[in-house]
Amino acid sequence: MKGIKHFMVLVGIVFWVKSSFGQTKISNSQFKTLAMNTDAVILDVRTPEEFAEGHINGQAKTLNLNYFANDFVSKVSAKVKKDQIVLVYCAAGGRSASACKDLKKAGFKKIYDLEGGYNNWE
């Protein structure tokens, strides 16, 4: 019985940690499906130079807002409604995970992070 209780506590902690990071990792196919939603926003958090070399398009509005900018969250907040679907990606997934965490803290509710980033895009 003790083992089951410890296991349940561990499962609860894992779900709490996952939700505290602020995003749901999604696959290429899930990202593509959501990018067809015209109410969604595709948010590329790479530098403008990286964006110019190639980026993801869809029916959704596409924004390039550099995560390293001091006013990143305020720029996103000025252009995106907090209840919109936000599809976030960077080159490999590090910046986008951090961006999603910051956006969740700012009150964004539907945040999806492309697993593997642009480097994994098909």
Q: How much is the pLDDT for 15?
A: 42
Q: Alpha-carbon distance 54 to 37, whole Å?
A: 21
Question: Does residue 51 lie within any of the structural domains?
Answer: yes
What CATH number is attached to the domain comprising 76?
Answer: 3.40.250.10
Output the CA torsion 47→49→54→57 (10° steps). Answer: 50
Rounded percentage of the chain residues whose pLDDT exceeds 90: 76
Q: How much is the pLDDT for 79?
A: 97
For residues 81 and 7, the model is more confident at: 81
Question: Does residue 16 lie within any of the structural domains?
Answer: no
Residue 14 has pLDDT above 50, yes or no: no
Q: How much is the pLDDT for 8?
A: 43
> Is 90 in the active site?
yes
Residue type, 5: K
Coil/strand/helix, residue 74:
helix
State pLDDT tens for residues 22-39: 569 999 999 999 999 989
Q: Per the residue annotation, which of 76, 90, 99, 100 is the catalytic one?
A: 90
Question: Does residue 85 lie within any of the structural domains?
Answer: yes
Mean pLDDT of all residues in 100-119 = 97
Rounded percentage of the chain residues whose pLDDT exceeds 70: 81
Question: Does residue 84 lie within any of the structural domains?
Answer: yes
Q: Return the residue matching tokens 């980033």.
A: 117
pLDDT band at 6 (very low <50, low <70, confident <90, very high): very low
Question: Does residue 4 lie within any of the structural domains?
Answer: no
How many helices, marked H, and strands, marked E, lie in the chain? 5, 5
- In the chain, the number of structural domains is 1
Q: Which domain holds residue 64?
A: 22-120
pLDDT band at 69 (very low <50, low <70, confident <90, very high): very high
Question: Does residue 64 lie within any of the structural domains?
Answer: yes
Question: Does residue 8 lie within any of the structural domains?
Answer: no
E runs forming strands in the chain: 24-26, 41-44, 61-64, 85-89, 110-114
